Amino acid sequence: MLNIIFAILIVPFVPIFMYGDLIVVKSEAKNIIVQNQVLGEENQKTGTASCQNEAENIVSRDLFPLKEKIPSHIIPKRKINYADMKIWSGASVVIDADSGTILHYEEGRRQTQIASLTKIMTAILTVENVKNLDEVSTITKTALNVDGTVVGCPTSVFCNSNRMYIGEKITVRNMLKAMLLNSANDAATALAIHVAKTPEDFVKLMNAKTKELGLKDTNFCTPSGLEIDGKETECYSSAYDIARIASHSLQYDIIWDIMRIEEEQIYSADGKYMHQLKNTDMLLREMPNCLGGKTGFTPLAGKSLLTVAADPTGEHKIISVILNDENRWEDMKKLVDWTFANYEWK
């Protein structure tokens, strides 16, 4: 009996250790969201409901290894009239790009297929490993032997331009454009071959990078995001991990300069072949504060979207990720609008 009484009185006060390097920062409000609720760990039944109902400020966390401490005046805080929201997706996350503060979280650590959102990591490794993006690469048969969207064919049943050819010489910069604008799987595979000789060796670099970034819910299988037949469950990430990968990518201006291009023609190095590209991100044309993003779709992953957007002052950026959402365009606009309506930086 004494053991039972001891457990009831003491256990609720035992610290709960969480994932990665996430550190709770003191909140000015007396009520905060407990750490396991925000990060998607198993809920502790004791006291959870009251924290959810009464929370005024989301917990700030040191999510990323920063060179210097983030000034307190640029960490977002909930407004007094804060109102929660729900979107019907498989998972969704919004983080502040500068401080890493989690602003919205719904099933953020659910491991699932992410399709072409994978290409953000492929872009990062390309920029980090190729010093001169204007160097020329030769397109191989392996690069072209992929399914789904490819250069010249924005869908598997529609082609509006020339495909790439075996032996075609094209710059790394132009392949980056094809991969990020057109979401071309052949361009992603060609970049992987250029960097690491084979797609398989490039995937090893991708997964090594996830460990370097401290990601816990990601295992890449291909540079394009296509799942491997029979090994689909081994290809996964999470909304939270993808937001962190996108945050890392923001240090490379070239990636996001490309992301903002709506349409462009690229040429082979000898000028013989032209390829028409059109950005798959509809929000560039519909949402003025959209700084770029990445679309993703496979039948297994569903329709997904990553968006980076700026607040009305242009001084602060958020990273928003929605996975497996049939209404991804409208839901992303709602989620971005909701974030800036309910948070302020001061």
For the chain, list residues with pLDDT below 50.
1-2, 4-68
The residue type of 95 is I
CA atoms within 13 A on the CB side of 70: 22
Which strand ranges, in their side-by-side order, compose the sheet holding 290-298? 102-106, 91-96, 317-323, 302-310, 290-298
How high is the pLDDT of residue 341?
95
Q: Answer whether 321's CB lies under 8 Å from 90's CB.
A: no
- List the structure tokens of 301: 């992953």
Query: What is the value of pTM for the model shown?
Result: 0.81
How high is the pLDDT of residue 313?
87
How high is the pLDDT of residue 71?
60
Cα separation, 179 vs 122, whole angstroms: 9
- Which of the listed CATH numbers 3.40.710.10, 3.40.50.2300, 3.90.1720.10, 3.90.550.10 matches domain 115-282? 3.40.710.10
- Tokens 């090893």 identify what position? 204
How high is the pLDDT of residue 69?
52
How high is the pLDDT of residue 2?
46
Q: What are phi and psi of 160, to 5 degrees?
A: -120, 5
How high is the pLDDT of residue 194?
98
Environment class of 275 (CB within 10 Å of its CB; exposed 0-12, middle 13-18, buried 19+): buried
Q: What is the pLDDT of residues 197-211, one digit of tens each?
A: 999 999 999 999 999
Give the Å distances, CA to CA, from 232 to 83, 87, 184, 220, 229: 38, 26, 20, 11, 6
Q: Answer whether 111's CB lies under 8 Å from 99's CB.
A: no
Nearest to 74 by CA among 315, 246, 341: 315
Q: What is the pLDDT of residues 23-70, one digit of tens each?
A: 223 333 322 222 223 322 223 333 333 333 333 333 333 344 444 455
- Tokens 């996108």 identify what position? 246
Return the percent helix, strand and coil in the chain, to nearest 5: 35, 20, 45
How high is the pLDDT of residue 310?
96
Cα separation, 209 vs 215, whole angstroms: 9
How high is the pLDDT of residue 277?
94
How high is the pLDDT of residue 301?
97
3-state secondary structure 65-95: CCCCCCCHHHCEEECCCCCCCCCCCCEEEEE
Q: Answer whether 317's CB lies under 8 Å from 243's CB.
A: no
Cα separation, 275 vs 255, whole angstroms: 19
